Amino acid sequence: MKFTKMQGCGNDYIYINGFEEKIAQERKPELVRKISDRHFGIGGDGAIFINPSDKADFEMEMYNADGSRAEMCGNGIRCVAKYVYDFGLTDKTDISVISCGQVKHLQLFLKDGKVETVRVDMGAPILTAEDIPVNPLPGREKQRIIDEPIKVQGKEYRMTCVSMGNPHAVVFLDDVEHLDIEKIGPYFETHERFPKKINTEFVKVLDRHTVQMRVWERGTGETLACGTGCCATVVACILNGLTDNAVTVKLLGGEIRIEWDGADGPVYMTGPAVSVFTGEFPI
């Protein structure tokens, strides 16, 4: 099987051209677990199959490292855009990509004939508890979860919940550098409030235009970046009155720019997409 390893701010995935590589659907979860292994496989936060689509220019079929299917990945979709342009699957610099029924529109920015950065219209954030989904407090099924308490391992945190096509809980802290995320992350991910598990962003606000974030992704663990997590983080910042409408999110793997008007408009994400290497893997 031919593949390309790509990353956006260190959030790395293995990309497979579904136009050429025909792999049975039932084999994909096991294959993804195998190739995502950083010791015995290729190594990555998961795998993404780039497939034909009759509803968009391309389909992104994304899997976490544990083989579970994921709805959306902001860093992943930027790399899809780079792949399809750089490898000649399209010559357009404005494309659409569908993932789990969600169509996103992407603008590609080139340098020396290759895609360097991508701006993605991530759509409007989903904010009601039952649609994220989060198990709401009694009588609050239709309500937003903004600065709401949650007890995890005996400690109370405050969370703001957002879906960007996948569920996120954003937690604001005074210090994220020294957070023992490997210890607390799994307990957030599997907390009873989250019926489909949760991606958790631990965030420190640096100023009105800049935040620092670490992320625990369901099915993977801590990653160096999360594009949808950056979007959810800035939405949560704006809902809590902590930042302005355009924010740079500082991640372990780099920086991503997020813009949201704070109303019903879409969230825009701009960030890098990088090819690491190509190869073949025996399957």
Domains in the chain (CATH in brackets) are 2-121+272-280 (3.10.310.10), 129-265 (3.10.310.10)
Residues of the chain with pLDDT > 70: what percent?
99
Report the catalytic residues: 73, 226
| Two structure tokens written together for 77 | 């979709």
What percent helix, strand, coil does the chain show, rounded to 5?
A: 20, 40, 40
CA atoms within 13 A on the CB side of 106: 38
Residue 264 has pLDDT above 90, yes or no: no
Res. 141 pLDDT band, cuts 50 70 90: low
Rounded-to-integer distance, Cα 244 and Cα 242, Å: 7
Mean pLDDT lowest for which of 27-31, 142-146, 228-232, 257-261?
Answer: 142-146
Structural contact between residues 193 and 150, judged by C-beta atoms closer than 8 angstroms: yes
pLDDT at residue 235, as a whole number: 98
* Rounded Cα gap, residues 14 and 129, in angstroms: 33
Q: pLDDT of 2-28, one tens digit each?
A: 999 999 999 999 999 999 999 999 999
> For position 137, what pLDDT does the model report?
80
* Residue the block writes with tokens 């649609």: 131
**Global confidence as pTM:** 0.93
**Percent of the chain residues past pLDDT 90, beyond the cut:** 96
Query: For the residues 54-73, what does the mean pLDDT come to?
Result: 96
Mean pLDDT taken over the chain:
96
Q: What are the helix and strand counts (H, E) for the chain?
A: 4, 18
CA distance 32 to 65: 6
Q: Give yes or no for a contact between 218 and 64, defined as CB atoms under 8 angstroms apart.
A: yes
Structure confidence at residue 51 (pLDDT): 98
pLDDT of residue 263: 86
Locate tokens 């663990």: which residue?
A: 221
